[in-house]
Structure 1
């Protein structure tokens, strides 16, 4: 469990930054959200993983990697193809910190 850094007035973000883990945590959180959204769209449309793989032009194993929330080693191209296979579009943007 991560303890709050409230005694020094810091935030969880500050604490993760001090540990050098902020980017990793954000990356994993982002992948978890994307995986969940793609999986929800797949289920809502009753698309099998095999059909999704066929639409993406890849293997069922690769689809499992995309849908695995802890696997952050998935390219943007693969995420885009996964999104399209369930009728969605991936939107990536840069924002100020």
Structure 2
């Protein structure tokens, strides 16, 4: 019998040990999207952002790549700062205590 019948997706991810990986990837995608939206709103090119960050255009491309899970928080924070923003990461308690590991 399938142990996941009647459970939610978070239960499945937690049981398979994937929830942290999926959450981190989702966070990176959201931040990359927000950076791209801020660039559009401010009419800032990748080249201009790279200059503001004192880095290369390649580093900006990586920061904006929603699938590049290896991007550091420091680089994302630098990009945000160059756009007049900041990155906020915080710990919050699980809404569902079943998701806590034992």
**C-alpha distance in structure 2 between counterparts of 1:72 and 1:56, whole Å:** 20
What stretches of structure 1 move > 3 A for 4+ residues in a row? 5-8
Give 1:8 shift. Answer: 3.5
Matched, 1:35 2:41: no
* Unmatched 5+ stretches in structure 1: none
Q: Deviations over 1:4-23 (max 9, x none)?
A: x8974311001011222111
* Unmatched 5+ stretches in structure 2: 95-102
- Greater relative contact order: 1 or 2 (C-alpha under 8 angstroms, separation 6 or more)? 2
Matched, 1:48 2:45: yes
TM-score (norm 1): 0.88
Q: Deviations over 1:2-55 (max 9, x none)?
A: xxx897431100101122211111111111100000000001101010110111
Q: CA RMSD in A?
A: 1.7
Query: Cα gap change, 1:7/1:52 in structure 2, threshold over 3 Å: closer, same or farther?
Result: closer
TM-score (norm 2): 0.84
**C-alpha distance in structure 1 between counterparts of 2:3 and 2:43, whole Å:** 46
